[in-house]
Amino acid sequence: GREFALRTLAPRLSAHTPLLFDDIQDNGHFRELVERRGGPYLVFEFGGKWIGLTGGPESLYCTPESRPSTTSI
């Protein structure tokens, strides 16, 4: 699933590639990825589901509406 997709795509992704995951409440994959990679991330609710964003340029995390989290999720 997700881990296979990331391993397949990893050689083509840079550290500045944003990664967006849906339904992160259903499994721990996003949490494990953030713990391995480090760096900022955002978790937000949309339509009763939870979305996770990590990677990408720092400007993604620097808007007044978003507050980056660097603590454990």
Residue 50, pLDDT above cutoff 90: yes
Q: Would you list the DSSP string of 39-62?
A: S-EEEEEETTEEEEEE-S-GGGG-
- pLDDT, one tens digit per residue, over 15-38 is 788 999 999 999 888 998 888 888
Q: Compute CA distances 48 → 23, 44, 60, whole Å.
A: 9, 10, 23
Mean pLDDT of the chain: 82
Beta bridge partners of 21: 52
Residue 51, pLDDT above cutoff 90: yes
Tell me what pLDDT residue 23 has: 92
Tell me what pLDDT residue 14 has: 83
Confidence band of 71 (pLDDT split at 50, 70, 90): low
- Distance between CA atoms of residues 16 and 47, nearest Å: 27
